[in-house]
Amino acid sequence: MANNTAQLQEKSHPMEDLLRMDRMPHIWCSGCGLGSAVTAFVEGLKKAGVSYDKTAIVSGIGCTGRVAGYLRLDSYHTTHGRAIPFATGLKLANRDLTVVVFSGDGDLFAIGGNHLIHAARRNVDINVICVNNFIYGMTGGQNAPTTPLGAYSSTAPFGNYEMPFNLVGLAAASGASYVARWTTMHARRLTDSIATAANKKGFCFIEIVSPCPTVFARKNKGGTGLDMLKEFQTRAIIDHDADPTTIPLNMDNEIVCGEFVNDDRPTFWENVQAGIKARLEKFANWEEMQSNSRKISHKKDRKYTSSRDSSIMRRNT
Amino acid sequence: MFKKSRLIGEYFMQGDIACAEGALAAGCRFFGGYPITPASEIAERMAMRLPLLRGVFIQYEDEIASIAGILGASWAGAKSMTATSGPGISLMTENIGLGMMMEAPCVVVNVQRGSPSTGLPTSWGQSDMMQARWGSHGDYGSISLVPNSPQEFFDLTITAFNFSEKYRLPVFIMADALVGHMTEKVVIPPVEELEIIDRKYTNKKPEDYLPYDYGKNLIPDFAKAGDGYRYHTTGLTHDKRGYPNMTFECQNELVPRLVNKIKNHVDDISLTEEYDIEGADVIVISYGITSRTILPAITMAKKKGIKIGYLRLKTVWPFPEEKIRKLSKKVAGFVVPEMNLGQISLEVERCAHNDSIVKLVPHPGGGIHKFEDVLHAIEEVAYGK
Amino acid sequence: MRFWEKPFGKEKPKTICGEIHIINDRCKGCSFCIEYCPRNVLEVSKDFNKKGYHPPIVVKPDMCTFCGLCEMICPDFAIFVIEKEDE
């Protein structure tokens, strides 16, 4: 930024406190929606009022996987598909953190699909932001689990033969507490959605439909990034009451956006606490039993626990 | 009720359970795992004990998630562990590489079964030894400890945590089903008698802190998530700031450091037991359960008048190269009985070079060595030269 | 005489204005900001930046209402708006 105007040197970009400015410019192509998604995320965090020091971001591999590297938070760039279990461990070991997984559709739904549905089932208190660009960008435009039927890609030269995943439907069906879908064009609503998710407990899933001008648009005659945004604008409708399982994304249907699920379910950790409490009340002297029953002791006044208790011990050791 | 973090005293305990208790004694407060014979008992014990110690137990959806989870927990500052068997380790290897690259301390217990593939789930073997060293792709230094009894399983679990915290890497405990399912006396000493090492947290201010800035010992200081350091870590080749840097210079600084941080500390890490090494003609090198099953052969050889020494490796990786090199100049040969078709014997051969004979006594696992076979090998080495 | 409310026109209502800052060399010329500015404040500049893209240029600075949409939609963190003090 050597030849900035004098005015600019006085005032810096308002997001510089949350971005790693020493790594800019980022690697994403011209017209890519990822930068807009990151802006929305940064604005959303500001709006949510969470402590930046207590926020961690975990990414997998791919174009979206690079998001972690550009955010000045505790950021982890992990292996392909394994961002969610990594984030689960991070969150459970330090429950004060706000943990956000920011990754792509290939990372979260192809190689990491199993982890996503299980994290949603457990309702671990993490937020998952999935940027869906319908294709594998970084490796050069191969088929993704979200590539619409009939769309072209490097590994589908005659058009894709496979039905794509409906990401919001899958997340909702797996039991996520909060499910939303926006495009990068819905900058303000997306920001609000991210802020809501940041303050919401439980598994929150936000799908961001993003243009990929370099590979998806090139192979499918989508034009530039701007053309894709305009197309999203014409196709997108907002319907918060839509059933997320009935709104898949195809080549030219409506992109139904909105907050589809906003429930309060007990999280994994709340269930753990409740379970332990119930059990401890039942066996209040557990720890005492534990140390007495299996000890090889030569003391004559050794206390024997009741037969019921010792059978429990036997089962547990 | 929550204060009593560990048992103290003498117990009649299964090896797997001794391992879990050792982990708790070392301060492990996060366990992520997936059931697999013969390591399930560790997870079961952890599920019972950890919640009462305010720790976290989570049964993940697979082994890949387990290792990723314990790496995450490690970055949150918890001492974390997972336990599995050969097939699980095969799934974990990619993320073990991530742990090596990110330098996240954690412990991976491999209760070995007969392999390859699903192999012998309820029987034992020692055929994952090379996988522990070279499992994940690329060059990195690694540490593997091999217990031969429930008591040692307890002790070495604590040592493994100490090494992982000190050198910042995932440490393997290469037990086998025989040790894991063996029930023996285990003495758990009071807390004061145990040496527990915790990772070195940085004392720098967040603005001065570089996550991969190292000192003379080549080990960077740790900062955990949520402390305001706001650092970046990645599995990509990274510079001292933790930022990806795709240059030869950066690769040339990082990867040799990952290897050398272990290589330079072999004397500290390498744990061995020696009997009658001085003046021996033949030295039997063994590790793990094999070191107990072949004892009759050594006794017999002694009765026959062979000058026999016995070297037991508690630390297999890093391999005690210098020690073997020195010994190889003095003895006629080595006998290496192991429950695989030749893995550690290759290392011994490499170190013995041309100075002495190395005789492997292979066993595919699922049983134990016939002592006649071992005795025969000892005699061959002793009288052959 | 006292009024419950101040009569219209007595005090000039404050209009909110924005001051647009463009970091030229960070721009990748996607023209999202130009297209989505509701008041058409921006246009494609004829100059090239360091990377060879045409960054936007402010042509109607008075029209900016500090809505911040250009800042929100810019994928390259290359444009931002600051609220102007008066006018």
Q: Which residue from B minimizes the CA distance to A312?
A: B48
8 Å CB contact of A36 and C82: no
Look at residue C7 and tell me whether its pLDDT is greater than 70: no
Dihedral pair phi/psi, residue A179, rounded to 5°? -135, 130
Residue among A8, A39, A184 minimizing CB distance to C23: A8
H/E segment holding residue A315: helix A307-316
Residue of A90, A281, A302 best to disrupt the B interface, most CBs of B under 10 A: A90
Look at residue A131 and tell me whether its pLDDT is greater than 90: yes
Do residue B288 and residue B183 come from a single domain? Answer: no
Confidence class of residue C2 from pLDDT cuts 50, 70 and 90? low
**Touch B-C: 3+ C-beta pairs under 8 A:** no
A20–chain B Cβ distance below 8 A for any pair: yes
**Touch C-A: 3+ C-beta pairs under 8 A:** yes
Do residue B51 and residue B188 come from a single domain? Answer: yes
Confidence class of residue A285 from pLDDT cuts 50, 70 and 90? low
Return the beta strands (E) in chain A as ranges.
55-59, 74-77, 98-104, 127-132, 178-183, 204-209, 236-238, 255-262
Look at residue B352 and tell me whether its pLDDT is greater than 50: yes
Chains A, C: CB contacts within 8 A come to: 85
Domain ranges of chain A: 12-269, 283-316
What does the pLDDT look like over A229-270, one tens digit per residue?
999 999 999 999 999 999 999 888 899 999 999 999 999 999
Confidence class of residue B27 from pLDDT cuts 50, 70 and 90? very high
Residue corresponding to tokens 């294709």: A135
Confidence class of residue A12 from pLDDT cuts 50, 70 and 90? confident
What does the pLDDT look like over A15-68, one tens digit per residue?
888 999 888 889 999 999 999 999 999 999 999 999 999 999 999 999 999 999
Look at residue B367 and tell me whether its pLDDT is greater than 50: yes
Q: What is the ipTM of this complex?
A: 0.94
C contact chains, 3+ CB pairs < 8 A: A
CB atoms within 10 A of CB C48: 12
Beta-carbon contacts of residue B247 (< 8 Å; ≥ 6 apart)? none
Look at residue A6 and tell me whether its pLDDT is greater than 60: no
8 Å CB contact of A36 and C32: yes
Stretch 24-43 of chain A: residues touching chain B, C-beta under 8 Å: none
Residue corresponding to tokens 């995320």: A41
- Torsion-angle region of residue A241: left (phi > 0), alpha (psi -120 to 50) or beta? alpha
Residue B75 lies in a domain: yes
Look at residue A127 and tell me whether its pLDDT is greater than 70: yes
| Torsion, Cα of C20, C25, C27, C28 (10° steps) | 160
What does the pLDDT look like over A159-176, one tens digit per residue?
999 999 999 999 999 999
Look at residue A94 and tell me whether its pLDDT is greater than 50: yes
For residue B110, the enclosing domain spans: 9-193
When pLDDT is averaged across residues B51-55 and rounded to a whole number, the result is 86
Beta-carbon contacts of residue A209 (< 8 Å; ≥ 6 apart)? A132, A133, A181, A182, A183, A184, A232, A249, A255
The CATH number covering residue B290 comes to 3.40.50.920
pLDDT at B279: 87
User: Partners of B108 in the beta sheet?
Assistant: B82, B172
Look at residue B59 and tell me whether its pLDDT is greater than 50: yes
Look at residue A308 and tell me whether its pLDDT is greater than 60: no
Do residues A19 and A42 touch, judged by C-beta distance below 8 A? yes
Look at residue B57 and tell me whether its pLDDT is greater than 70: yes
pLDDT at C83: 87
Look at residue A292 and tell me whether its pLDDT is greater than 90: no
pLDDT at B236: 94
B226–chain A Cβ distance below 8 A for any pair: yes
pLDDT at A288: 56
The CATH number covering residue B26 comes to 3.40.50.970
When pLDDT is averaged across residues B24-43 and rounded to a whole number, the result is 94
pLDDT at B190: 87
Q: Is the dihedral of CA B271, B275, B277, B283 positive or negative?
A: negative
Query: Given B151, B178, B193, which residue is the final one in a domain?
Result: B193
- A97 contacts in chain B (CB < 8 Å): 76, 225-226
CB atoms within 10 A of CB B185: 12
3-state secondary structure string across chain B: CCCCCCCCEEEEEEHHHHHHHHHHHHCEEEEEECCCCCCHHHHHHHHHHHHHHCCEEEECCCHHHHHHHHHHHHHCCCEEEEEECHHHHHHHHHHHHHHHHHCCCEEEEEEECECCCCCECCCCCCCCHHHHHHCCCCCCCCEEECCCCHHHHHHHHHHHHHHHHHHCCEEEEEEEHHHHCCEEEEEECCHHHCCCCCCCECCCCCCCCCCCCCCCCCCCCECCCCCCCCCEEECCCECCCCCECCCHHHHHHHHHHHHHHHHCCHHHHCCEEEECCCCCCEEEEEECCHHHHCHHHHHHHHHCCCCEEEEEECEEECCCHHHHHHHHCCCCEEEEECCCCCCHHHHHHHHHCCCCEEEEECCCCCCCCCHHHHHHHHHHHHHHC
Do residues C21 and C40 touch, judged by C-beta distance below 8 A? no
Query: What's the burial of B226, exposed, middle or buried (CB within 10 Å: 0-12/13-18/19+)?
Result: buried
Range of lowest pLDDT (A30-34, A299-303, B82-86, B133-137): A299-303
User: Partners of B33 in the beta sheet?
Assistant: B59
Look at residue B76 and tell me whether its pLDDT is greater than 70: yes
Copy the structure tokens of residue B11: 């117990």
The distance of A213 to chain C (nearest Cα, Å) reads 10
pLDDT at C21: 92
- A11 contacts in chain C (CB < 8 Å): 21, 82
Confidence class of residue A306 from pLDDT cuts 50, 70 and 90? very low
Q: Which class would CATH give C18-80?
A: alpha beta
End-to-end CA separation in angstroms for chain A: 64
Do residue B187 and residue B66 come from a single domain? Answer: yes
pLDDT at A277: 84
A69–chain B Cβ distance below 8 A for any pair: yes
Residue among B29, B51, B227 minimizing CB distance to A272: B51
Look at residue B179 and tell me whether its pLDDT is greater than 80: yes
Look at residue A8 and tell me whether its pLDDT is greater than 50: no
Domain A12-269, CATH homologous superfamily name and number: Thiamin diphosphate (ThDP)-binding fold, Pyr/PP domains (3.40.50.970)
pLDDT at B9: 87
**pLDDT, mean over chain A:** 86
Domain count, chain B: 2
8 Å CB contact of A92 and B64: no
**pLDDT, mean over chain B:** 92
pLDDT at A304: 45
B190–chain A Cβ distance below 8 A for any pair: no
Stretch 117-136 of chain A: residues touching chain B, C-beta under 8 Å: 118
H/E segment holding residue A291: helix A286-293
Confidence class of residue A276 from pLDDT cuts 50, 70 and 90? confident
Residue among A3, A35, A184 minimizing CB distance to C76: A35
8 Å CB contact of A85 and B72: yes
pLDDT at A2: 40
